[in-house]
Amino acid sequence: MNVAVSRRTAFRASLTGGAALVLGGSGAAALASSDGPESARPGDADGALRLLRQGNRRWRASASHHPNEDAARREELTGGQSPFATILGCSDSRVPPELVFDRGLGDLFTVRSAGQVPDPSVLGSVLYAVEHLETPLLVVLGHESCGAVSAAVEAHETGDVPQGHIGHLVERLLPVVESTPDDGGDFVDACVTANAEDIARRLREDEEIGGFARTGALRVVAARYELGTGAVTFLD
């Protein structure tokens, strides 16, 4: 058996409360109660994607339901969490996953870093959700006009890489910028798409996170968000 999967199974077997209880029959019904049938936790990636697409449609239409934000939901979640998707997104204040997918408490496990740079702390956070919370879907969410990607493009074009912590981010974004063809269009925008797709690919190939993708327990998808329209496009 895959090492990562056997660890996950062992963790489930050792659970005496928390997420395991929330995942159980009555817990699942309770989770659904505050938002109608659409809020029942999907058990697979297809169902998770469906909820995200539905939520984004509401967000785009300025018709958000703001599900799972009430006191009852807070109380339901005190015993554990069972989010249906992990979102690896940018820290940009204009792209908060719960808003752009119109979801609430306990729905999304969000990990954010500028440019979605997957350094070791980010990878550990993602792995926690995949392995221990068993989210069936992992979305790498890039976005239009990403400042981190723009900084990497600037460093690529000028050869001037910033120092310090910002430099750390830029250096991790430079390889994808350097490998993205410049066809004369909006190069930053092309790099935004390429970066989301590249990170998704690397996560699928990651020794630990990728183990869940290889067994079919996890689907990793890249996506991008448009600031003006609010639309999320899934790229693969």
Tell me which residues touch Zn ion (CB under 5 A): 90, 92, 146
Q: Which is nearer to Zn ion, 87 or 218 (CB)?
A: 87
Instruction: Kindly state the DSSP code that residue 90 receives in the 8-state scheme.
Output: -
- Quote the tokens at residue 183: 């066809």
Q: Which is nearer to Zn ion, 89 or 106 (CB)?
A: 89
Helix (H) or strand (E) holding 3: helix 3-14
- Residue 10 CB-half CA count within 13 A: 7
* Minimum distance of Zn ion from residue 147's CB (angstroms): 5
* Minimum distance of Zn ion from residue 57's CB (angstroms): 23
3 state DSSP class of 120 = helix
* Minimum distance of Zn ion from residue 145's CB (angstroms): 8
Q: Which is nearer to Zn ion, 92 or 206 (CB)?
A: 92
**DSSP conformation letters of 172-221:** HHHHHHHTS---SS-HHHHHHHHHHHHHHHHHHH-TTHHHHHHHTS-EEE
Q: Which is nearer to Zn ion, 129 or 146 (CB)?
A: 146
* Minimum distance of Zn ion from residue 195's CB (angstroms): 9
